Structure 1
Amino acid sequence: MDWQLPQAYSHRLTSFAHWLRRHLPNRCLLCRQDIRQFDSGKPQTGICHHCLVAGLYQHEVCLGCGKRMEQLQAYCGHCLQHKPMMVIAPCSYHHSLGELVSGIKYQQQCAPLTALVNVLAVRVMDLVARGVITLPQVIVPVPLHKNRLQQRGFNQAWLIADELSRQLGIPMDDSLLVRSIDTQAQAGLDGQARRRNCADAFNTTKAIPYQRVALIDDVVTTGTTVNEIGKLFAADYVHVQAWCLARAEAPGLL
């Protein structure tokens, strides 16, 4: 028999959780100052508004390679020749917000996750409004192998996708992809080693019922992971974008 909390008791717990968020010390993980709240219904945690805005891109970037551009367009001249997968991110991993993105994965410090997802959602909708990208039908988190999931206890890409689904109203499909090979961690590997590491590591679990998909991850570095998954979708002529909290551009592009 399933056991559930009485509805009134569950409501009191939810109210108590909101009270805690409003009254417990809430400091920015970057500047250590108290976080000023602008919306009492949705208290911001983990990062203050000043640090959040300061860490975002202050210029346009190529959605292919991440190179700085003077005016908004999907690709720089080099990427326009081969049109790689579009990578949508609100900031660079090499700047201040990268520390928070890293903290989510390696330190289970998820306090700033909602705020970081929010600026990603704003970035997505801005590009849609300006006609650069089209919204997908579904968002799909990059999966972890079951062994890695057991070790870490959570999949940060799933947490991001779940929050993003709520903020944008786009459904999430977390059953479409599986990571069939328990690969070595990508961090510290060069581009060639990353490609070998991810080769044939992913599989689809069913026929793909979508025409437009956004892959969700915390960071896109060389693009090896999302491009490997993209091959699975390309075989069925599915258009794929990659959405992430931060992009780790190649040296010299910033």
Structure 2
Amino acid sequence: MMTQPSLQRWLGAILPNRCLMCHQQITSTQSGICRVCLNACLYQTPVCLGCGREMQLQVSYCGECQRHNRLKVVAPCGYHDGLGHWVGQIKYQAQFAVIEVMVDALIRRLHHLIELGFVQMPQVIIAVPLHSKRLRQRGFNQAWLVAQSLSQKLELPLLDDVLIRQTNTAPQAGLSGKMRRQNLLDAFTLVADINWQRIAIVDDVVTTGTTVSEIARLFNKQYIETQVWCLARAEAPGLN
């Protein structure tokens, strides 16, 4: 079984020299997706940090999310705006070529929101963990790969020994909102003390936010402020 560090070492060797979307040649400083295709797929309008819906003006939350005190989700693009397919390929086809360019886009989005005063830079980051059985089957945790890249580029500690997935839950895809919440109830647990005040939870994709909300609940019990970072945000208006 290939380990996560091994995958990272292989990353540089497997990056294509053509854009996965338009198939035009890209420079050696780029990877996976060219700047033209990338920029065309990034958010072009303000979006709510709670649910991802488009808004006329950039504020933290839409009216609905203000009432529910939603988690703030930092993402550079919507899942259905062109890049979601390639984010999904990281998990399902081990297509790691898009990770670095997408992480860079996420970092730019993060700095923009920090300048606007909507989020603060966290002190540490933590990846959404896989259950040990699922990790053995897949050979890697895509959220951890994204978090590792963010950790290196932002020079933030990556905590990978404080949170575990104690239940091997069924995949969330295809479940209703209520079923997703039931599926993840008490699925995670903290196994070490946390001595930080601000944490960013990293995942590849956020849809309803059920997974990251369940993790955030554990940290909130210890009065730790949480935010969420992901490569793409998928709206799911029908999942209540």
Q: Deviations over 1:13-43 (max 9, x none)?
A: x9xx97x78xx961111112212x2xx5xx2
Q: Deviations over 1:173-192 (max 9, x none)?
A: 11111000001111121111
The match for 1:33 among 24, 48, 64 is 24
> What residue in structure 1 maps to residue 34 of structure 2?
48
Give the C-alpha shift of residue 251 in structure 1.
4.0
- Contact 1:89–1:247 (8 Å) recurs in 2: yes
| Partner Cα separation in structure 2 for residue 112 and residue 246 of structure 1 | 12
State the secondary structure of the residue aligned to 1:112: helix
| Partner Cα separation in structure 2 for residue 95 and residue 167 of structure 1 | 25
The match for 1:198 among 181, 184, 187 is 184
> What residue in structure 2 maps to residue 116 of structure 1?
102
| Partner Cα separation in structure 2 for residue 218 and residue 25 of structure 1 | 21
The amino acid of 1:203's aligned partner reads T
| Partner Cα separation in structure 2 for residue 25 and residue 148 of structure 1 | 28
Give the C-alpha shift of residue 82 in structure 1.
2.6
Q: Deviations over 1:123-165 (max 9, x none)?
A: 1111111211111110000000000000000000100000001
**Structure 2: which 5+ residue stretches go unaligned?**
1-8
Q: Does 1:72 align with 2:58?
A: yes
| Partner Cα separation in structure 1 for residue 165 and residue 126 of structure 2 | 13
- Contact 2:75–2:230 (8 Å) recurs in 1: yes
The amino acid of 1:60's aligned partner reads P
- Contact 2:16–2:31 (8 Å) recurs in 1: no
- Contact 1:25–1:34 (8 Å) recurs in 2: no
Give the C-alpha shift of residue 250 in structure 1.
2.3
The amino acid of 1:194's aligned partner reads R
Q: Mark the structure with the bigger radius of gyration.
A: 1
| Partner Cα separation in structure 2 for residue 45 and residue 188 of structure 1 | 32
The match for 1:145 among 131, 134, 141 is 131
**Structure 1: which 5+ residue stretches go unaligned?**
1-13
| Partner Cα separation in structure 2 for residue 25 and residue 69 of structure 1 | 36
- Contact 2:201–2:229 (8 Å) recurs in 1: yes
> What residue in structure 1 maps to residue 165 of structure 2?
179
- Contact 1:219–1:244 (8 Å) recurs in 2: yes
| Partner Cα separation in structure 2 for residue 100 and residue 151 of structure 1 | 21
**Equivalent runs, 1:102-113 vs 2, <5 Å:** 102-113=88-99
- Contact 2:199–2:227 (8 Å) recurs in 1: yes
State the secondary structure of the residue aligned to 1:69: coil
State the secondary structure of the residue aligned to 2:171: coil
| Partner Cα separation in structure 1 for residue 83 and residue 181 of structure 2 | 26
Q: Does 1:155 align with 2:138?
A: no
> What residue in structure 1 maps to residue 3 of structure 2?
none
| Partner Cα separation in structure 2 for residue 31 and residue 227 of structure 1 | 36
CA gap of 1:25–1:250, structure 2 versus 1, over 3 A, is closer
- Contact 1:31–1:51 (8 Å) recurs in 2: yes
> What residue in structure 2 maps to residue 88 of structure 1?
74
> What residue in structure 2 maps to residue 216 of structure 1?
202
